[in-house]
Every structure is written in structure tokens, then in C-alpha cells.
Structure 1
């Protein structure tokens, strides 16, 4: 699918910076840029993937608008597989805005829609849909590990596995078609065994991909982590230690934190969305009551709860009540203030929670944070993260479609075992093939494509 118009947008973040980049893509990208670009080089004759120094000039009055570097990438050797021109201007809002307005003024170039450059790369066949969606994950990555997983998907690691799986299924469909067309040569038992074996092999491959779904989703979206506990046990100090910045106000006065403070961190390659909550206790302070209620809401939404207890104090009734309320939830109990003489009765604590869920630390001395990292890794990943060559499935759409494909294959196996004619079994196998095709974009509706690319930022 080729596009007939030329689009442009600012591809760098708005604000002050060393440079800003305007991307132009489409059949008239180079010709339209030539109208405004003054240089010793005729860019119409310039080679692809070359950079040229010059100025942007308003042709109406000859005013020099900006000093730029212009990069030419001719299709199909470009991100969109079309002719692409990138204009590198001085950073800042005014300079890049003036250049973009000049490009759009005559109407031959229009402003790009969100994600339209990546959408064109997909429609023009340079990338498939899983690779396009990986671009969003690259932009939104919150840890090195998440970025590496997204990069592998952008390079086509997941696509290759799905395409290989579809190739197996199309061979199976071809085998079934032959037996339907030439039933006199069909050995029913042999065909039945062949279909079951191939479907089971495909199910095994899908199971291997789905096995990574939980970890992949965590790496993609992060673990929503609520830091809870009574007032003044060190919750905000823990947040500051993990973030390595004084994001939360810390005082000796109980009830200082009145609202939920949110921060993203990467702990050992695991992205965490930390929620520092107000101390949970009974209080007559109206403002603090609102903070406590918001803390309870954060508790309900959390994937992981870090319950902070003060090792320098005996267990309080509020501590016991909190632990009771958190039964059955993923909780790591943090015994804080190990730098002070211990007072808390640990035997009583271990009668309520398992010893394996307890981590001893001193936020003041920043000791024990590595044990916290190991505890989180053990809880969510069974120990260490998988090796770097593993392909993770992290996108909810991908997980859903893989599940549907697997179910279709299971239906085909059960139908074969029940002696149902193979022309009916063929429907289930083809359904699995189509579900995988929707995953990579071979068979997908226009509305779904629009929905996916509308999540992108402008200029990507």
C-alpha cells in the first residue's frame, strides 16, 4: 500500500535542546524541501543517505529562517520505505516551529498524524505489526531490560517465530487440502495422526511463547508497587533511597505524607512503579483521613506490596491489622532500622508471615536493598530473569491472539480424535493460522491499525 501525499512532523521532544529534527516523508519530500533549502548542493541530484549544510529560506521574501543540516534518505532504504528528508535545526521551540510552519504553508505537505511514519513503514511492508508495536515499547521502556526486549521485537525476533509457525500450519493445510481433493488416496488413520502431531507441535511452540507472557508484561508495564505501613516507619525514606533523590518529605512527625507519591525506578532490570502512601492508621485529622483512603486504594491496585515495619519498635495493633488485610496478596515485609537496637518480637512476626517474605534493611545506611531486589526477582521471576536470547511476549493483543490460536489447534486435535471429517478439522487449523496472521498484521482490520498507531506520539 503506497501513500500519495507527503507528511511532516517534529520528531524530537518539544523544548530546549542542542538540535531539533523535522521529518518529512512521501513522494514529494525531496522536491518540496528543495523549495526552501539553499545550499551549494542540488538535493534533487544528491545521493541517498547524505547530509547537506544550508539554510531554510522563505521564497516569498528571501528571509533566512534557519541554519540547518538536511539529510536525504531515498526509498525504499528509509524508515517509511518512502523518500525521507530530515531537517536538523537549532533546538528550541521557536526555530523548529518556524521551519515546520514554512514547510506546511503551501499545502503540498500536511502535518503527520500520530504514529503515521511508523504506520507507513508497516503499510509499505518494511516492518510487520509486531515490529511496529515494539516501537512504542522502545519509547516507553523504563529499564534497560525492557528496552532490550523491545529492541529484539523491533528487530523481528517474535515475528520470525510467528511466521515459522504459520508456515508449519500452511503446510498442514496444504496436506489436508490434498486429502480432501483426492480422498481415494487418503489413509484416514495416517492423516489423523499427522494432523494431531503437527497441531501438538504448534501448541508446544505457542506454550513456549505464552510462558514468557507474565514476565514480558511486567518488563513492559512495570510492577505497580505500593509502599505501606504505619506513619513514621521509613516509607518515604525508602522511596528516596530507591529513587536516589529526595522526592518525598521526611520528618520525625507522623503523618507527614498526606498523598500518594508516584515514581518509576529500575531495580536490577525490573521496572517498578513505586507508590509511596500515607501512613495507614486511625486518625481524626480530616486531611490525613483522605491520604489514608488513597493509600487503601493504592493497595487494591498494587501488583506488589512492600510493608515497612520498624524493627526498633514492638508490633503495633495497626501493623497486625495491616498484615491481616494483606493475607493472600504478594507482600514483602521490610524490617527497617536494622541500624538501631531490635525491639520487635520476630517470633511473633513469623507466626503471622513467612520468614521467606521478610527482608531486613536499613534505609538510613542503604543496606539490604540488594536483598529486596532478589526477593522481588524471586517472587515474580522465580529467581533470575531469563537469558538475553529469550523472546518475550509482552503485548496484551499478542497474548490474546496466541491464546485463540492455541485453542483453535486444541479444537482441531479434539475433532480429529473424535473422528470428525478433516474438511471440518481444516476450519480450526485455518482459524489458528488466521489468528497468528492478525498478530503480525497479515490479516487485520483497518480500524485496529488506526487504533494501534493512534497510541504513538506525533512524529514517530
Structure 2
């Protein structure tokens, strides 16, 4: 390793804060930090015990100008995040001191870290595998307690161990087939259990694939589109669920012309609320664009909250919207129930079989608890438990689908009575696909693409 192999970056978010951190990793980290740091006691950083902090100041050696008062953490290889020497300079969290300190680190031999390069080094140096590396960003982006719990479990290797066990079993099958083919005269166990063994691996992978729908919600939130004709209370519902005035509410139909997206947490379920433009025929070009956007969001929705004005009979506009959502998971809200009710629940149940129907009044909060209980039940009344291994990553899901397709092909080859050595080709393809998840068979292009999505400094 040469001096250029030492990287540096600001590891805290931009903007003002109480603390900011400049991080270095590489064999020259301690030396570079020592050149710009002065301890108040005169203690040298190379003499500091690993994983200890030293108080002092960052000073520009060329001008002797004091930059900031700091605490410096020294962490020596191999017991560090990257398995390299790491120095973290904890300074005041303003743009100027962080920028000045980073510039000094670069001037004295470090180079700017690329996106996710600290975590990439942890992967390259064998401290974590690729699935664990991806969990780092999932932790940063988690928007609920359960999303965080699932991501932490992945960082600790829960998914990796599950994948490795399945992969190891398939490798054992390949070794058994090879021995059977190469040494027919030897006392090699028959292959009668081959098909059941493959099917057990298929069952395990399919269980992981099934968990991906739960994982998608944990990662992205339950995509919930609020829809209805103008002035039925869509924006009022958004504000009520958010407990803040996020959307403009007026008596004028068509106030919401664009899409408003917000995350909320309903009893631990991350929900991505999408307040849409009221659907109606309009000559207003801006409102018309909003309506078209609404229709596109409906295609991707996990749940649709369809709102009606219960003080009015169903209109042609209502029926148009019902037709748009009839193939979606729908909860129908009969809003404005504080007014004399005209619209009956059985009318909606006939028009939308299977939909959950709830009477609401956003003036007094009526029905909101029933709505949130229903959303919670949609997520947690399934067969997936949050403590099970859960696939949250679309790349992992694609790899699992490739693996299970290859295993099914292996079973078909066995059933067709073809030579058993042909089964090895399919089994090897499954091993390859599973190895892409943990990084054992992932190509450089895949690895680079993954880390490009990380923030600089992580």
C-alpha cells in the first residue's frame, strides 16, 4: 500500500451540527493526522492506545493557524471498521471547520474517498460480505423500528448465514454427483436422495422469496395512495395521519394538483402516503397533469384509500374511480359522517367486493383508529414473522429467483432420466447465483454499482 491508499472524507451530513467528523482510513492515517494535530499534553498519536480519544487542536503546519478544537479517535488495524488504521477527527459541526480539516488531510497525503469506500474496504478486507455491506445503507435509510431491526440482523449476518447454508448444501450435492460419476467402481452412496435434497433447498429459497413482499414494505414503506374525487377530504386525511398541516385544505375543488408524498409510521409499519389530485374531467391543464400522475401512482400502489363524501350519492366520477381501483387492495372511507348520511355501506360493498369500508369524520377523528388498525393488520397478520430472515434487497431477490429456477431445472433433468452429470450444470448455476448475494461470485461491475449508491464517508 502507498500513501495514495489512505482515504479521507467528511462522514457527517452537510449543514450545521454540534459535532462533525472527518474520517481517514489506510496505513498513513495516523501519520497524516499527526502532522495536523497538536495534543494539549504533547501526546503523539502514534503512541496513543488503540480505540482511545485525545483532546487537542487541528493546526495548519504551514501557517501555524489553529483551525479548531477537536477530539481525535485512533483505531489501529485490524480491529477497525475497514480492518485498516482509522482516525476520526471530531470537530465542531460547521461547514468551514470540516472543509478546512479535510483539505489539510488531503494536502498531507490522503485522497478523497469515493462513495461507500470505507464500507467497500471492509468488504474487500473480509470483515463483512456483500449482503452485510448493503445492510449498512439499509440501516441508514430505515424508517421504522422493524426496518431497523431487520437491517441490523442482516448486518450481523442473518441473511448471509441462511444463504451460505443453502449454498453449502448444494455444493455437497455437486460433490456427491461428481464422486458418483467419476468413481462408479467405488462404494459411493446412490443418488436416490438427490431429488428430495434439491427440493429442500428449493423450499428454503422459496420461503426467502416469499418474505420479499414484507421486506419491500420495510424498505420502501407500504405505498398507500389516497384517491377520490375533488373535495372529499383527501388532503384532510393526509394532514390527520401526519398530525400536521402538510396539504392545503379548502372548500374549492381541485386544490391538490400535484402529488404529495410523506412517510408515516403506523404502529411500526412504515407507510408511504401519497396524496393525489382529485380525479375528474377538467379543462385545467395543470390539474389534468395531476390526474394523469394519480393514475400512474395507482399502478404501483400496495394499498388504495378510496374516499367518498357520505353526504352525497355516488356520482359518475365516483364510479370512474371505482373502476380504476377494482383490482387493487382497497379500503373505502365514507367521509363526512358528521353530516346526514346518504351513501350506504352496502352500496360500496356491492361496487367494491372485498374492500374494507370504514365511516370517518375528519372533523372529530372518527374512524382514524379503525383505519390505522386495519393497515397494521394488513402487514402483521401474514405468515411472515419479523424475526425470520427477510429479504429486503431487490438484487438479492433477483439472485434467489435465478437460483430457484436453476434448481427446478435440475429436478426436471432428474425426472427426465437424463445423465446425472447434467444436473451439475444447473446446480452450479444455483451456487453462482447465491454467491452473488454474499459477494463470493459477484463481478467487479456489480460490486462497484452497489457502492456507488452509498454516501461519501460511509
TM-score normalised over the length of structure 1: 0.94
CA deviations on 1:239-281 (whole Å, 9 max, x unpaired) are 1111111110111222222221111112222222222112212
- Secondary structure at the residue paired with 1:60? coil
Aligned positions of 1:31-46 closer than 5 A: 31-39=31-39, 40=41, 41-46=43-48
Match of 1:63 in 2: 65
Match of 1:75 in 2: 77
CA gap of 1:151–1:7, structure 2 versus 1, over 3 A, is same
Match of 2:140 in 1: 139
Match of 2:178 in 1: 177
The 2-side partners of 1:301 and 1:428 are apart by: 34
Deviation of 1:377 after TM superposition, in Å, equals 4.2
CA deviations on 1:15-38 (whole Å, 9 max, x unpaired) are 011100111101111111100010
1:437 to 435, 438, 454: 435
CA gap of 1:281–1:222, structure 2 versus 1, over 3 A, is same
Q: Is the 8 A contact 2:4 2:111 kept in 1?
A: no
Aligned positions of 1:120-269 closer than 5 A: 120-185=121-186, 191-269=190-268
Match of 1:298 in 2: 297
- Secondary structure at the residue paired with 2:308? strand
| 441-450 vs 322-331, greater mean Cα deviation | 322-331
The 1-side partners of 2:4 and 2:125 are apart by: 12
Deviation of 1:392 after TM superposition, in Å, equals 0.4
The 2-side partners of 1:258 and 1:86 are apart by: 48
Q: Is the 8 A contact 1:4 1:27 kept in 2?
A: no
Match of 1:449 in 2: 447
Match of 1:18 in 2: 18
Q: Is the 8 A contact 2:50 2:74 kept in 1?
A: yes
- Secondary structure at the residue paired with 2:262? strand
CA gap of 1:95–1:124, structure 2 versus 1, over 3 A, is same
The 2-side partners of 1:28 and 1:3 are apart by: 6
Deviation of 1:128 after TM superposition, in Å, equals 0.4
The 2-side partners of 1:165 and 1:301 are apart by: 32
Match of 2:412 in 1: 414
| RMSD of Structure 2 on Structure 1 (CA) | 2.0
- Secondary structure at the residue paired with 1:127? coil
Q: Is the 8 A contact 1:377 1:384 kept in 2?
A: no
- Structure 2 segments unaligned to the other structure (5+ residues): none
- Secondary structure at the residue paired with 2:426? helix
Aligned positions of 1:44-59 closer than 5 A: 44-59=46-61
Deviation of 1:163 after TM superposition, in Å, equals 1.1
- Structure 1 segments unaligned to the other structure (5+ residues): none
TM-score normalised over the length of structure 2: 0.94
The 2-side partners of 1:236 and 1:27 are apart by: 56
- Secondary structure at the residue paired with 2:46? coil
Count residues in correspondence: 456
CA deviations on 1:346-369 (whole Å, 9 max, x unpaired) are 332222113642122222222322
Match of 1:116 in 2: 117
Aligned positions of 1:321-332 closer than 5 A: 321-332=320-331
Q: Is the 8 A contact 1:374 1:383 kept in 2?
A: no
CA deviations on 1:295-345 (whole Å, 9 max, x unpaired) are 333333433221111122222221122112222122221111233332213
Q: Is the 8 A contact 1:405 1:432 kept in 2?
A: yes
